Structure 1
């Protein structure tokens, strides 16, 4: 444990979390965005050089003020990213586990055609919410939203969502692409089963 603690201290001292990782993240995201958008050209070799320089400048403009401590407390992008990324990673793990569970039952049934949009929408909303919470903006909701900070509540919500999606997939008829229809048929089946026992 002491050896592991020493490694962690060394990584902290060299600024791995506060300097190098944020710099690499912002640089890669900026460079990919510039390359894909083709603002400075798509096939021009000089455009790639310009994209590298611009990405480098953007990354330094984000990270250097953080190192110097000139950002306001709730407006430091590095702190926001450091606080949000672990929750985003948990969300990604939950989505991957859901896909694995569905894959065990679905095989190659093509369920993603009807569910991909829903998953993307929920993931987008969740990621936006995570970053708003990390930045402190979502705290204006007051005590009404504070229960979402409880890890047990978060786990229950994730379990309910995954269970609901699995129920929808298992109960939907072939060609049925609506999420609500699957849930409706599930509860209708429960009702028929209850009446059949009398």
Structure 2
């Protein structure tokens, strides 16, 4: 039998108050939508002491309404809560992975992802986030969209449509690899320097 604790009772009390189902999702959606409106300035700007700034009153009101509409739907709130928990778990896994990599370097060496490795991990994180949201969204039968997609692929793996999609993905990856721009080397700079020196001697 699990023993009840003071902090555990506090968490349960906050849950009964609706903090996790109403207040936190509302604050999260409001903050994200308001930040997007402020960054994109989609509803226009206004002059404040000669500086063009976003219309904060309008952005805040629209973000407030959108956040209220989101928390009004129990399904959307459930998707947000489930997705965010898995996204935080994905973030912790990536941080732990970087910590393990950093243990092989000395204190003076800077550890950071550059070039192809950074692109690779960005793609992996994007795929992970998409899969998390697909797993959180459920159909009327109770199955998640991810499970429906997996079942469709497994059941129709030998069909022409699935084979065509796989072939198309392989061709796109191959084309992206072929047409990507090569990295610029520093040989040209040194060559120019030698030319300049030759000109000075002449």
Taking structure 1 as the reference length, the TM-score comes to 0.61
Does the alignment pair 1:95 with 2:97? no
Q: Aligned residue for 1:178?
A: none
User: Does the residue aligned with 1:121 lie in a helix, a strand or coil?
Assistant: helix
Q: Distance in 1 between matches of 2:13 and 2:62?
A: 31
Tell me which of 31, 40, 47 is aligned to 2:55: 47
Question: Using a 3 Å threshold, how does the CA distance of structure 1 residues 111 and 11 change in structure 2: closer, same or farther?
Answer: closer
Q: Relative contact order: is structure 1 or structure 2 higher (C-alpha 8 Å, sep ≥ 6)?
A: 1
Matched, 1:63 2:71: yes
Match of 1:27 in 2: 30
Whether 1:118 and 2:127 are equivalent positions in the alignment is no
Structure 1 residue 111 displacement after superposition: 4.1
2:15 aligns with: 12
Provide closer, same or farther for how the CA distance between residues 108 and 80 of structure 1 changes in structure 2, counting only shifts above 3 A: same
- CA 1:13/1:117 → structure 2, altered by over 3 Å: closer, same or farther? same
Change (3 A) 1:127 1:110: closer
Instruction: Mark the CA change 1:110 to 1:134 in structure 2 (over 3 Å): closer, same or farther.
Output: closer
Distance 1:38 1:63 in 2: 25
Q: CA deviation at 1:9?
A: 2.4
Gapped regions of structure 1 (runs ≥ 5): 67-75, 146-174, 176-198
From the two aligned structures, give the one with the greater helix fraction: 1
Q: Gaps spanning 5+ residues in structure 2: where?
A: 46-50, 138-143, 155-182, 184-202
**Pairwise CA distance, 1:105:** 2.9
| Inter-partner Cα distance in structure 2 for 1:38 and 1:24 | 21
| Cα distance per residue 1:141-191 (max 9 Å; x no partner) | 23988xxxxxxxxxxxxxxxxxxxxxxxxxxxxx9xxxxxxxxxxxxxxxx
Report the Cα distance in structure 1 between the residues aligned to 2:112 and 2:92, rounded to whole angstroms: 22
With structure 2 as the length reference, what TM-score do the two structures score? 0.60
Greater Rg, structure 1 or structure 2?
2
CA contact (8 A) 2:82 2:136 kept: yes
The number of residues matched between the two structures is 137
